[in-house]
Amino acid sequence: MSKVIQVLLVDDHPVVRRGLAAVLDAEEYIEVIGEASDGYEGVTLTQKLRPDVVLIDLKMPQLDGVGAIRKILSVNKNVKIIILTSYADDKHIYEGIAAGAKGYLLKDAPPDRLVEAVRAADRGESLLSPEIAARILDQFSSMINQSPSDDSTQKPLAAGIRDIPALTKREQEVLALLGRGARNRDIANQLVIVETTVKIHLRNIFSKLNVSNRTEAVLVAKELGLLN
């Protein structure tokens, strides 16, 4: 029997919470077990209810999303947190990811992407909105094109890789689609393979690139010149 993923919603807008709950509760093996209207309540309910995944907004009264994420992870490092917000600027993106979020979605994301993000987070994977992934890649590209004198303390993500890893042709195809923000289902459909095979290819890619999630894989691959 599959495990039921328990989700906590943290957003100061009741209508948003109601809509999210309707989408997630309609899915098999996903259950919304609580709702919080501000960051402090989100921290309290996370400790009380012990959800698997927390969906959290960034702009809230009392305690904002970034502060709430840090407090939640300081007492429960195993909970997976997804940011769901209207803010797509660099400052909010990097602060949210740096705080420990496993995913970053915009509120106009389609319901199926929201559901996939929850499932991915529960598996320990990261999922970003395509717009967010594009902004991160653009910023990262600018960083690695700087001369060493621009930031002598900057340590490349791929510093631990001595040689460019040899990826199979199929792994290269999976990585290319990953770089475009494709989900496992999308990759499987485009390559005409099953999702289980996609997961195997991803594990191999992560191992060869010495990374632990999708976001790091794309960033390291970009640094190594494996993605255009």
- Indicate the helix (H) or strand (E) that contains 138: helix 130-144
Is residue 142 in a domain? Answer: no
Contact 36, 42 (CB under 8 A): yes
- The letter for the amino acid at 64 is D
Are 104 and 175 contained in the same domain? no
Are 95 and 184 contained in the same domain? no
Lowest mean pLDDT among 11-15, 16-20, 114-118, 145-149: 145-149
How many distinct structural domains can be found in the chain? 2
Q: What is the CA radius of gyration of the chain?
A: 18
Contact 68, 96 (CB under 8 A): no
Q: How far is CA 143 from its chain centroid?
A: 21
What is the domain-level CATH number for residue 41? 3.40.50.2300
Q: State yes or no: pLDDT of 179 exceeds 90.
A: no
Are 53 and 88 contained in the same domain? yes
Are 171 and 124 contained in the same domain? no
The whole-angstrom separation of Cα 207 and Cα 105 is 26
The pLDDT value given to residue 225: 83
Pairing of strands 127-128, 80-85: unpaired
The pLDDT value given to residue 141: 58
> For residue 142, what pLDDT band results from cuts at 50, 70 and 90?
low
Q: State yes or no: pLDDT of 91 exceeds 90.
A: no
Q: Please identify, among 128, 163, 192, the residue that sits at the C-terminal boundary of a domain.
A: 128
Selected residue with higher pLDDT from 106 and 228: 106
The whole-angstrom separation of Cα 64 and Cα 91 is 14
The whole-angstrom separation of Cα 201 and Cα 157 is 21
Q: Please identify, among 97, 128, 159, the residue that sits at the C-terminal boundary of a domain.
A: 128
Is residue 137 in a domain? Answer: no
Q: State yes or no: pLDDT of 208 exceeds 70.
A: yes
Token match 């042709």: residue? 169
Secondary-structure breakdown of the chain: helix, strand, coil percentages, each rounded to the nearest 5? 50, 15, 35
CA dist 39 to 43, 58, 152, 216, Å? 6, 9, 37, 28
Selected residue with higher pLDDT from 144 and 127: 127
What is the domain-level CATH number for residue 218? 1.10.10.10
Q: Please identify, among 68, 94, 128, the residue that sits at the C-terminal boundary of a domain.
A: 128
Q: What's the chain's average pLDDT?
A: 85
Are 119 and 32 contained in the same domain? yes
> For residue 149, what pLDDT band results from cuts at 50, 70 and 90?
very low
Mean pLDDT value of segment 131-137:
72
Q: State yes or no: pLDDT of 147 exceeds 50.
A: no
The whole-angstrom separation of Cα 166 and Cα 100 is 30
Q: State yes or no: pLDDT of 192 exceeds 80.
A: yes
- The letter for the amino acid at 61 is P
The pLDDT value given to residue 143: 55
The pLDDT value given to residue 6: 97
Residue 59 lies in domain: 5-128
The pLDDT value given to residue 87: 83
Lowest mean pLDDT among 1-5, 47-51, 57-61, 175-179: 1-5
Are 81 and 171 contained in the same domain? no
Q: State yes or no: pLDDT of 21 exceeds 70.
A: yes
The pLDDT value given to residue 146: 54
Are 71 and 175 contained in the same domain? no
